[in-house]
Chain A
Amino acid sequence: MAEEIRLMKGNEAIGEAAVRAGCRAYFGYPITPQNELTAYMARHMLARGRTFIQAESEVAAINMVYGAASTGARAMTSSSSPGVSLKQEGISYLCGADLPAVVINVARAGPGLGGISPAQGDYFQATRGGGHGDYYTIVLAPKGVQEAADLTYEAFGLAEKWRMPVLILADGLIGQMMEGVVLPEPIDPVNLQRKSWAVGHSVEMARPYNHISSINLIPDELEAMNRKRFERYAQIKKELIRYEEIEVEDADIVFVAYGTSARVSHGALQIARAKGMKVGLFRPITLWPFPYEQLYRLAERGKRFLCVEMSMGQMIEDVRLAVSGKAPVYFYGRCGGNIPSQEEVFAEALRLSGK
């Protein structure tokens, strides 16, 4: 049988992917531009007898996730930029307690209340931990509805494998636009294994009592816990880095962009190639861990880089770290909720090609 292709909004596809991944608990608070996701979860989680709570705040929602995750259940929350700021406390605690969870950020323009249009100004927050203390979260950046669904589905397994939160960094465009999507196979949560580290069912699991906590007042012990976590991070860097390269082989100028700005840059690439310009695209899919080495190898081959972002320039710092001075890195960005057009990006590439 041919695969069913459904026309869905990004927000709804993320919700359906979570339901199919066996998410047992969703907690959220209304915020634009991700409201369809919360509404989707209300309909589809409750209809399946799973937990849906419209929480009193983003802070409460992420801490409900913390509680549900403590039992080993697949749990998720979603929000948009200002709401994700509120969740940072909980994300830090999830990391400190080594709990899996999925957090969706359908990002909008900031700072402050900012606007409700798409933006990529949350890159620093997403890739540098975001809250207090030494930690990272896995950050996955989809470029469209299909990838948003696929990465959300996969995020639950990654969160469990690495015992940490996985953040999906989308934006208002990906959340709001409709595209065809092939949805993954549904997993019934009752078929998911109980976790030996979780609370509850200690007799069935034949284990000693478990204590989920992030506190340790003994500096040597806390340092050892942090070092152990960073050993895991090192392993993630070896196993998980993902990116897409388009026509980089012969390219003189390589766009570096993720998510929506990568789609736009791909359009600019096609314009440029039609005019005979050697332009490529490097699209990080994992923003943490970031593909530093892969970019470095391109830099060694004499490429120049144009970092395209819907911000004043955040990922560009990672691009500069990656190329380590081996190659010039230029920047083109729009912000405030503006999305650059492919013509704008092409014009910038054209300007650089004259240099």
Chain B
Amino acid sequence: MEIAYKHPKSLKSIQTKYCPGCGHGVIHRIIAEVVDEMGLQTRAIITNPVGCSIYADMYFDFDSVQPAHGRTPAASTGIKRMLPDHLVICYQGDGDLAAIGTAEIIHAANRAEKFTTIFVNNAIYGMTGGQMAPTTLVGQHATTAPEGRDPINAGMGYPIRVCELLASLEGTKYLARGAVNNMVNIRRTKKYIRKAFEAQMRGEGFTMIEILSQCPTNWQMNPVESVEWLEKNMIPYYPLGEIKDTLSTAAAPAQAH
């Protein structure tokens, strides 16, 4: 009998350092599943960013490069330009992408760099212990927003919708936002990732999947509360779906490998 569901080859069978209820583990798994399905394990390279997911290179079973904080898209640019037939996965958190690395993501996207960014948005800084992120919601508490994010009076600004921000750039060909708070959204997110990876391997241009993800530890909730909080608070502000899709219509539909 064929095994229908098993541990992905591209993900090592080890315990992660991620907290209980953290979304990174699920996101790693669906990326690894897509890499396996496309038969790209030996040609995949992940750039694991500064932040909790700096450990990603311990979990993915393929090549990796760890760049400086926020410079992940610049490093991915260098890698993909040298290895255009490889799958380059630019994994970024909200601090890495939307704060310290804002210039790098905008210009990589605008140059239509042919790697795929996986943007994990959990609306908080995880590794450093719960500081306000560029995507922290208005009113959401953080160690650096002790009374909640106050955009005007405290001058903390507004949460940035990255997909919508990048959508105006001609170089972006596919931008989608998924979530890992329930099975339906996880499956949908995996489809987005597959579509982006396929577009990357066809060399179409910049692709990015933003993934809303739980951080129970720094949200100071238990895992069950965190998936509910994500659904009630994050999804209304960060709408799910394909935000932009200008991929070649002539492109072949997704094929199973």
How many B residues touch the partner, as a band? 20 to 34
A53→B108 CA distance, assembly (Å): 11
Chain A binding surface, main DSSP class: mixed
Whether B68 lies near A212 (C-beta < 8 A) is no
B71 nearest in chain A by CB position: A63
Whether A63 lies near B45 (C-beta < 8 A) is no
B191 close to A (CB within 8 Å): no
Whether A210 lies near B75 (C-beta < 8 A) is no
B210 close to A (CB within 8 Å): no
A231-256 at interface with B (beta carbon < 8 Å):
none
B78 nearest in chain A by CB position: A67
Q: Given that A56-B107, A203-B42 are contacting pairs, would A67 and B63 also be in contact in the complex, using a CB cutoff of 8 Å?
A: no
B62 close to A (CB within 8 Å): yes
Whether A57 lies near B63 (C-beta < 8 A) is no
Residues of B within 8 A of A215 (CB): 54, 66
**Contact partner of B81 among A25, A60, A202, A214, CB < 8 A?**
A25
Q: Given that A200-B45, A200-B86 are contacting pairs, would A211 and B64 also be in contact in the complex, using a CB cutoff of 8 Å?
A: yes
Residues of B within 8 A of A63 (CB): 67-68, 71, 74-75, 78, 104
Most chain B CB within 10 A, of A27, A59, A63, A97, is at A63
Residues of A within 8 A of B169 (CB): none
Chain A residues within 8 Å of B, Cβ to Cβ: 24-25, 27, 51, 53, 55-57, 59-61, 63-71, 73, 75, 89-90, 93, 97, 199-203, 209-215
Q: Given that A60-B104, A203-B42, A213-B57 are contacting pairs, would A66 and B64 also be in contact in the complex, using a CB cutoff of 8 Å?
A: no
A60→B105 CA distance, assembly (Å): 10
Whether A69 lies near B83 (C-beta < 8 A) is no
Whether B42 lies near A70 (C-beta < 8 A) is no
**Contact partner of A212 among B43, B65, B71, CB < 8 A?**
B65
Whether A199 lies near B79 (C-beta < 8 A) is yes
Residues of B within 8 A of A24 (CB): 82
Whether B77 lies near A73 (C-beta < 8 A) is no
